[in-house]
Structure 1
Amino acid sequence: MKIRKSYYKTIGKHIIVWTLAFALFNFLREYGQEIVRDVKEVDDFDLTKRIIFQTLLGLVSGFLFGTYAYWFHRFKFPKISFGKVIFIGALGYSLVIFLFIIIAFWSFANVFKADIDPEVVKNYFVSGQAWVLIIFCFLIGFLIEFVEEIDKKFGPGNLLKMLSGKFYRPKQEERVFMFLDMRSSTTVAEWLGHIRYSKLIQDCFKDISVVVAHNAQIYQYVGDEAVLTWSKKSKNFRYKDCIDAYYAFAKRLEDRKEHYCKKYGLLPEFKAGVHSGIVTVAEVGEIKREIAYHGDTINTAARIQAQCNTYKENLLVSEDVVKNLDSEQDWDIEEKGIVMLKGKTNKIKIYSIN
């Protein structure tokens, strides 16, 4: 269901983008041609047909491009540069439209039995009309992939928020934060060495993408630590997603145990602390901008995660999280006690969840 929903969302987005793109293509092609049409006494019916054709082309190509983009972004690329991913993605759009042109001519000739002279097809390419369309699709595809990659860098949806200036002035939000930290990271780093340890972190944080299926946003990476967050205003938000996300990540690592043990000689293990509450969100920075969260909620989540070693637990959560969980879930929730967290004046009750 989640795959189907994201697929239709991608299709819909591309249909809108490409319908507008081909409307722009038609505008650029026809702009300033009014005088030429008046001189040649050309009927506006030809222009109407071209507009209808460009609209249909936008709808059909939007569906095709959307399908391509969906599977392209699900493909796990080997470690290649940011620029290469964008270029390969854009090249794919050109290939799709090229195949579409070929299949369209073939369909009209063989399926619809239209009388198409082979010279017409040849002239369509020789005259440059097809190549203009292919290059146009490459450029728009390049722009789409560039925006997609930048959006990933800032976090899904944050680019649009920054462009709109939503967080230019600080605002308060209710959020859940999870701090994930690798166990025995110092020992592992000394054993593997800096380069292999960095590759291990890269692999782990590539696998952490599974949390997106549980509505998590990856706020930031700090060394071997990842910070996840959930907006309580989100219509799909459920507290159980915060717990499911952690165990989905743990399962992903376990499923790839052979890979990690073969490549690094160990299976990485992460501990986590979760807390919910009010935070302030604002766009910060001038040379390098980002959306940042501030407040006691974040500090508390980090402090709870630090207690995992003390209690020998992988996942600790605050009372605020536990009391909002669905009691029907098959979880083993155990109260660990009321503790005074470092840097805080008030004690807080924490729980383990297994």
Structure 2
Amino acid sequence: MNRYSFGFWIFVLCAIAVSGVIYGAIFYDDWSLIGAVFALFVCVPVIAFERGLLLPRLNAWVTSLSTPAYIIFSLLVFYLMVSVAFAACGGLLWSLGRLKAITWQEAVILPADILLYTIGVSLILSCVTRVRELLGRDVFASLLLGRYRKPIEEERVFLFIDLVGSTSFAEEFGDLRAQRFLSALFTAFAKPVRQYRGTIDDYIGDAAIITWPMARGLRQDNCVKCAFAIVDAIEADADKWLQKFGQVPRLRIALHGGPIVTAEVGVDHHKIAYFGDTVNTTARLEGLCRALGVPILISSDLAKRLDFSGDIKAEYLGQHALKGRGQSLGVMALTREKDLALKLVARSA
């Protein structure tokens, strides 16, 4: 658990405990810590499930459902979790003599008022979670807080990923199967991106754009580690890819960072958009991967700001002119010692 996850859980646990005490005071005129204990028992499993830490396979399946089915099954899962947690907490406190005023059955059976309260909270949580998943965690928070209502100048890291051979795959297997292939690929990106605190900004055809605020992307080489984590995730499931689609995805990856302008745009459909040369340069750098026959490229400007810890190596490939850019750009190929013999990308798609 990194310090960000640790800080998140400290905040969540404190908020849940306080809400439990307040709930007990309002509905039962009881300011004791019993309400906090019940709240922690009941809420923590639900939050852990929502974040994919508890029953991750079930969480992945529920998340993959359509929105109506997602809400229904989320409510069912939340209700079962809350009922079991309430019974466990009530039984434990009753056996310790902390609930002397009620019977054992009353201690372990979820009361109707708490059930209705829980269903209401769970429904709100399901809807908010679904919207957050559709928009992306950082985008959801930014839209909610109105951070980019006015354009802001900032520095960001961008990671562009393109699937090699998507056109030929679609020609051979059809557009529907190609879309399923892309959907499975983009799903595989999710965990590494969350792990290294990035945000999937957009999907454009067979490409994905991932971004970080500059400080977060540079910290502990998050942006570079994310790129290799995505490659590792695909390689780890190579047999499944072959069995389901007949081939393992091959990728071209580019990393670059610098100043951009970030703004909330749109009327009926709001979006956080990024403007500036940095975004265009990253896209051109991804195209350069094919010309150089290199799976992962990073600009020298960004590489100078990273430590490249572990077995990650950066090989300078010189200055290259990029289409639409007045100045040439220094580029470096990223490799790992264990991957030197691995060919991920052919020169032509």
Taking structure 1 as the reference length, what is the TM-score of the superposition?
0.82
The CA RMSD measured in Å over matched residues stands at: 2.9
1:227 corresponds in structure 2 to: 209
State the secondary structure of the residue aligned to 2:200.
strand
Deviates more, 1:329-338 or 1:17-26: 17-26
Closer/same/farther in 2, CA of residues 12 and 332 from structure 1, 3 Å limit: closer
Structure 1 residue ranges without an equivalent (≥5): 30-48
| 304, 326, 332: which one aligns with 2:285 | 304
Specify the code of the residue in structure 1 equivalent to 2:183. Q
| 52, 55, 60: which one aligns with 2:31 | 52
1:315 corresponds in structure 2 to: 296
Question: How far, CA to CA, are the matches of 2:329 and 2:89 in structure 1?
Answer: 66
* Matched-pair contact (CA < 8 Å) for 2:21–2:31: no
In the TM superposition, what whole-angstrom CA distance separates every residue of 1:219-245 from its partner, at most 9, and x where no partner exists? 1111111101111244x7427222211
Question: How far, CA to CA, are the matches of 1:331 and 1:50 in structure 2?
Answer: 59
Q: How far off its partner does 1:216 sit?
A: 1.7
1:13 corresponds in structure 2 to: 12
State the secondary structure of the residue aligned to 1:229.
strand
State the secondary structure of the residue aligned to 1:309.
helix
* Matched-pair contact (CA < 8 Å) for 1:341–1:347: yes
Q: Does 1:70 align with 2:48?
A: yes
Superposition pairs for residues 27-46 of structure 1, below 5 Å?
A: 27=26
Closer/same/farther in 2, CA of residues 58 and 247 from structure 1, 3 Å limit: same
Q: Does 1:341 align with 2:322?
A: yes
In the TM superposition, what whole-angstrom CA distance separates every residue of 1:160-213 from its partner, at most 9, and x where no partner exists? 321222100000111111110001111112122111111111111111011221
Closer/same/farther in 2, CA of residues 239 and 98 from structure 1, 3 Å limit: closer
Question: How far, CA to CA, are the matches of 1:143 and 1:22 in structure 2?
Answer: 21
Question: How far, CA to CA, are the matches of 1:8 and 1:65 in structure 2?
Answer: 17
| 74, 77, 82: which one aligns with 2:67 | 82
| 236, 244, 258: which one aligns with 1:255 | 236
Question: How far, CA to CA, are the matches of 1:346 and 1:72 in structure 2?
Answer: 46
1:92 corresponds in structure 2 to: 77
Q: How far off its partner does 1:149 sit?
A: 2.3
Question: How far, CA to CA, are the matches of 1:102 and 1:223 in structure 2?
Answer: 49
State the secondary structure of the residue aligned to 1:205.
helix
Closer/same/farther in 2, CA of residues 339 and 162 from structure 1, 3 Å limit: same
Q: Does 1:207 align with 2:188?
A: yes
Where in structure 1 do 4 or more consecutive aligned residues deviate above 6 Å?
A: none
| 156, 161, 181: which one aligns with 1:180 | 161
Q: How far off its partner does 1:326 sit?
A: 1.4
Question: How far, CA to CA, are the matches of 1:90 and 1:189 in structure 2?
Answer: 38
Closer/same/farther in 2, CA of residues 313 and 292 from structure 1, 3 Å limit: same
Closer/same/farther in 2, CA of residues 8 and 239 from structure 1, 3 Å limit: closer
* Matched-pair contact (CA < 8 Å) for 2:252–2:296: yes
Specify the code of the residue in structure 2 equivalent to 1:280. V
Question: How far, CA to CA, are the matches of 2:5 and 2:38 in structure 1?
Answer: 19
* Matched-pair contact (CA < 8 Å) for 2:21–2:35: yes
Question: How far, CA to CA, are the matches of 2:323 and 2:30 in structure 1?
Answer: 66
Q: How far off its partner does 1:266 sit?
A: 0.2
* Matched-pair contact (CA < 8 Å) for 2:22–2:31: no
Question: How far, CA to CA, are the matches of 1:284 and 1:167 in structure 2?
Answer: 9
Q: Does 1:267 align with 2:266?
A: no
Q: How far off its partner does 1:274 sit?
A: 1.1
Question: How far, CA to CA, are the matches of 1:207 and 1:117 in structure 2?
Answer: 49
State the secondary structure of the residue aligned to 1:228.
strand
Question: How far, CA to CA, are the matches of 1:302 and 1:92 in structure 2?
Answer: 42
Question: How far, CA to CA, are the matches of 2:308 and 2:25 in structure 1?
Answer: 58
Q: How far off its partner does 1:321 sit?
A: 1.5
State the secondary structure of the residue aligned to 1:169.
coil
Closer/same/farther in 2, CA of residues 197 and 339 from structure 1, 3 Å limit: same
* Matched-pair contact (CA < 8 Å) for 1:169–1:282: yes
Report sequence identity in percent.
Answer: 22
In the TM superposition, what whole-angstrom CA distance separates every residue of 1:15-69 from its partner, at most 9, and x where no partner exists? 5257448746865x6xxxxxxxxxxxxxxxxxxx62425x642453235422332
State the secondary structure of the residue aligned to 2:111.
helix
State the secondary structure of the residue aligned to 2:65.
coil
Question: How far, CA to CA, are the matches of 1:199 and 1:299 in structure 2?
Answer: 28
Question: How far, CA to CA, are the matches of 2:111 and 2:101 in structure 1?
Answer: 20
* Matched-pair contact (CA < 8 Å) for 1:305–1:316: yes
Q: How far off its partner does 1:334 sit?
A: 2.0
State the secondary structure of the residue aligned to 2:231.
helix
Question: How far, CA to CA, are the matches of 1:64 and 1:7 in structure 2?
Answer: 20
